[in-house]
């Protein structure tokens, strides 16, 4: 066990699945298929074995947060305001963060009666391509400096204080921020914030995004596996873009596959891998829990902060 995981309890899937009494997953196979990213694999068995115990653990954290807020209110002699429970989900590009987040959104809204659950991805906080180009960092998209960190922190601060907030919308089809479009995020019971950068805040070393989270999850896998998932996803994106000339990936569909895949491999090596090793993975131990995936996308090990 490396030093990095010194502070974590390593739990096998077998042990983990027995930590929660068996219940039927509160969603159907169709629903599960509709929320999973198209290059991800997840089964109802995963929901039962991994995600239901995780939801139960989140319940424990939420209760303890409320107890603490109540006691703090008594100590400060003022009434404590109800705050959203904020969950951060991080991990590499193509590791399956979106699927984990969307699944949690459904599970939480069905486990807690009448709970509202908002889901936000930090892609919306990327600077528009035009700005990235003007700053000469279009090839650094996804790196810390390519995000509007100030807006992101303002968003978290507002939500934490129970205020709704409008955020920009990013589209993978056009590979850019959508002009004039906004997502209204309510200060719901739960707010899930998902993205490769949610445990970082390099422009302001005094404040980390994790300071705003009540619970945080890092989705982890071996680099070689993530690379093959990334390339697989790239191929699928090309197939989806074949008949849509407005799609960013359409331009690649007219080129020989070998060339395009060499290009994708190069993007992985020079951009995504560098970002993972330099900026994303070093934040892994800020998570409360690490979900480790095996080559078949199945979660095989869980690390819980001691």
Positions at the binding site for ATP: 91-98
User: How far apart, in whole angstroms, are the C-alpha atoms of residue 10 and residue 153?
Assistant: 32
Closest CA to 219 of 153, 144, 301: 301
Positions at the binding site: 91-98
Number of alpha carbons in the 13 Å side-chain half-sphere of residue 223: 10
Axis-axis angle for helices 97-111, 52-76 (nearest 10): 70
Axis-axis angle for helices 257-267, 223-241 (nearest 10): 130
- Please answer whether residues 256 and 262 qualify as being in contact, where contact means their C-beta atoms are separated by less than 8 angstroms: no
Query: Residue 130 has which token pair?
Result: 């035009």
- Please answer whether residues 296 and 43 qualify as being in contact, where contact means their C-beta atoms are separated by less than 8 angstroms: no
Neighbours of 298 (CB within 10 A): 16
User: How far apart, in whole angstroms, are the C-alpha atoms of residue 155 and residue 52?
Assistant: 29
């Amino acid at each position: 066990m490396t030093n990095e995981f010194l502070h974590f309890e390593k739990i096998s899937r077998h042990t983990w699945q027995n930590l929660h009494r068996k219940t039927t997953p509160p969603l159907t196979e169709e629903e599960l298929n509709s929320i999973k990213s198209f290059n991800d694999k997840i089964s109802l068995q995963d929901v039962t074995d991994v995600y239901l115990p995780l939801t139960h653990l989140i319940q424990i954290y939420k209760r303890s947060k409320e107890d603490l807020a109540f006691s703090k209110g008594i100590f400060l002699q003022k009434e404590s305001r109800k705050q959203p429970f904020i969950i951060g989900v991080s991990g590499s590009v193509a590791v399956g963060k979106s699927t984990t987040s969307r699944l949690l959104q459904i599970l939480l809204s069905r486990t807690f009666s009448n709970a509202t659950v908002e889901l936000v991805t930090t892609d919306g906080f990327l600077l528009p391509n035009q700005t990235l180009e003007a700053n000469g960092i279009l090839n650094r998209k996804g790196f810390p400096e390519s995000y509007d960190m100030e807006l992101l922190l303002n968003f978290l601060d507002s939500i934490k204080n129970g205020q709704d907030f409008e955020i920009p919308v990013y589209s993978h089809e056009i590979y850019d921020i959508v002009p004039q479009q906004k997502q209204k995020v309510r200060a719901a019971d739960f707010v899930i914030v998902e993205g490769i950068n949610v445990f970082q805040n390099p422009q302001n070393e005094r404040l980390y995004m994790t300071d705003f989270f009540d619970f945080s999850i890092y989705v982890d896998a071996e680099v070689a596996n993530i690379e093959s998932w990334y390339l697989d996803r790239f191929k699928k994106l090309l197939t989806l873009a074949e008949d849509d000339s407005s799609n960013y990936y359409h331009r690649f569909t007219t080129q020989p596959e070998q060339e395009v895949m060499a290009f994708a491999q190069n993007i992985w090596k020079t951009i995504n891998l560098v970002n993972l090793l330099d900026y994303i993975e070093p934040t892994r131990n800020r998570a409360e829990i690490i979900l480790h995936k095996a080559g078949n996308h199945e979660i095989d090990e869980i690390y819980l902060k001691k």
